[in-house]
């Protein structure tokens, strides 16, 4: 049973940091020469400080709701309560950042704007930020999905057929140690559009770790499992897809998780080297005009997207490997 004192402590600690940051943002005056402009948002006009406080209240409400939902399950509440001190520290960190970057501007400007200043990018050009975010997602999805499909397929072939292993492994070893971005000049020359070239680079960087770990999982399948399957009348197809592939699933998901980070890094690099859109393109464009608050805004969007994609992959992995529950730590 969850103790009432623990509930109050966990919920208050989770939201109080953000509420303190919002309160002091409203009470502490700006002493630095910062121009406060009202921007139209729907039928209302808000400035950067009001928008910043709205974000803080949203975070506090979000964690309060998540905490109340987690009360239904003891393990979920335990996990939520464990993160309460970190959430409080995040709120206080935002408060200090706001004071040093916006209120007093003690940090070097314009290179380190405060969080309220970063929010200004979303008030000035929300449509442009959204367009570049969607371009990055489209590029990432195309490259990552193709890379995973090719990687798993190649890994199965390498792990099962010795002749394929003989011919493909040298190619895999050579291409695997070369950063995907190094292929950019060739990709731009050989492929018809910059988008296709960037997709190719993401496919390359995803293909290597997924292929390697899939092949390892296939090759490490115990022979006794194959012998048992043959005794039950399994053919080659069954041995591959009902014995070897299920056994390799943990390694396959490890490769996919590793490739996810590589793909996101390659995505940004490719966008900064010739794409007509995307968050990397937005960063380059903002840097030219020394609009570093827009650079930070793009970085925050990237962090949110990466966390969201990682959470989705973890959910899929948890569902696919649900048979591991209770067997692994």
Q: 9-37: per-residue pLDDT in tens?
A: 889 999 999 999 999 999 999 998 888 88
pLDDT at 44 (0 to 100): 86
117 falls within a domain = no
pLDDT band at 138 (very low <50, low <70, confident <90, very high): very high
43 falls within a domain = yes
User: Looking at the predicted structure, is the pLDDT value of residue 1 above 70?
Assistant: no
At 198, phi and psi to the nearest 5?
Answer: -65, -40
238 falls within a domain = yes
Chain centroid to Cα 287, Å, comes to 23
At 40, phi and psi to the nearest 5?
Answer: -75, 125
Residue in the block written with tokens 């060739």: 186
- Domain shared by 141 and 276, yes or no: yes
User: Looking at the predicted structure, is the pLDDT value of residue 75 above 60?
Assistant: yes
pLDDT at 270 (0 to 100): 87
* Boundary residue ending a domain (112, 139, 174): 112
pLDDT band at 42 (very low <50, low <70, confident <90, very high): confident
CA distance 28 to 38: 19
* Boundary residue ending a domain (112, 147, 175): 112
Per-residue pLDDT tens digits for 102-112: 999 999 988 99
Whole-model pTM over 0.85: yes
pLDDT at 142 (0 to 100): 95
329 falls within a domain = no
73 falls within a domain = yes
User: Looking at the predicted structure, is the pLDDT value of residue 327 above 60?
Assistant: no
286 falls within a domain = yes
- Domain shared by 281 and 134, yes or no: yes
- Residue range 227-252: average pLDDT? 91
Domain that holds residue 166: 127-324
- Among 255, 286, 296, 267, residue whose Cα is nearest residue 138: 267
pLDDT at 76 (0 to 100): 87
- Tokens, residue 71: 């009360």
- Domain shared by 30 and 161, yes or no: no
- Domain shared by 98 and 170, yes or no: no
Percent of the chain topping pLDDT 70: 98
- Domain shared by 96 and 131, yes or no: no
User: Looking at the predicted structure, is the pLDDT value of residue 300 above 70?
Assistant: yes
- Domain shared by 75 and 170, yes or no: no
Residue 172 near residue 261 (C-beta atoms within 8 A): no
pLDDT band at 274 (very low <50, low <70, confident <90, very high): confident
User: Looking at the predicted structure, is the pLDDT value of residue 204 above 80?
Assistant: yes
User: What CATH number corresponds to the domain at position 149?
Assistant: 1.10.3720.10
Work out the mean pLDDT of the chain and round it to a whole number. Answer: 91
What is the distance in angstroms between the CA of the first residue and the CA of the last residue of the chain? 23
- Domain shared by 284 and 149, yes or no: yes
- Domain shared by 308 and 200, yes or no: yes
CA distance 202 to 205: 5
CB atoms near residue 37 (< 10 Å): 11
**Of the ranges 3-7, 53-57, 182-186, which one carries the lowest mean pLDDT score?**
3-7
Number of domains in the chain: 2
């Amino acid at each position: 049973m969850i103790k009432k004192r623990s509930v109050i402590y966990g919920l208050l600690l989770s939201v109080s940091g953000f509420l303190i940051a919002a309160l002091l943002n409203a009470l502490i005056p700006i002493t630095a020469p910062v121009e406060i402009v009202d921007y139209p948002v729907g039928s209302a006009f808000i400035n950067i400080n009001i928008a910043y406080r709205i974000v803080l209240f949203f975070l506090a409400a979000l964690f309060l709701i998540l905490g109340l939902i987690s009360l239904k399950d003891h393990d979920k509440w335990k996990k939520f309560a464990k993160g309460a001190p970190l959430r409080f520290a995040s709120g206080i960190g935002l408060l200090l950042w706001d004071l040093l970057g916006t209120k007093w501007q003690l940090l070097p400007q314009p290179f380190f704007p405060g969080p309220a200043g970063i929010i200004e990018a979303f008030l000035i050009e929300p449509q442009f930020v959204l367009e570049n975010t969607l371009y990055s997602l489209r590029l990432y999805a195309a490259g990552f999905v193709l890379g995973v499909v090719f990687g798993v397929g190649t890994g199965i072939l390498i792990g099962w057929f010795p002749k394929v292993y003989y011919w493909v492994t040298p190619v895999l070893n050579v291409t695997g140690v070369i950063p995907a971005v190094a292929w950019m000049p060739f990709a731009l020359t050989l492929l018809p559009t910059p988008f296709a070239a960037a997709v190719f680079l993401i496919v390359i960087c995803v293909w290597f770790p997924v292929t390697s770990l899939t092949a390892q999982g296939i090759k490490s399948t115990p022979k006794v499992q194959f012998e048992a399957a043959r005794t039950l009348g399994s053919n080659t197809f069954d041995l591959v897809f009902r014995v070897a592939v299920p056994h390799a699933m943990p390694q396959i998901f490890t490769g996919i998780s590793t490739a996810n980070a590589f793909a996101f890094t390659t995505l940004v690099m490719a966008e900064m080297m010739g794409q007509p859109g995307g968050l990397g393109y937005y960063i380059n464009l903002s840097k030219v005009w020394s609009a570093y608050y827009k650079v930070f805004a793009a970085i925050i969007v990237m962090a949110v997207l990466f966390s969201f994609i990682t959470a989705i992959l973890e959910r899929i992995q948890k569902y696919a490997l649900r048979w591991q529950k209770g067997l692994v730590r």
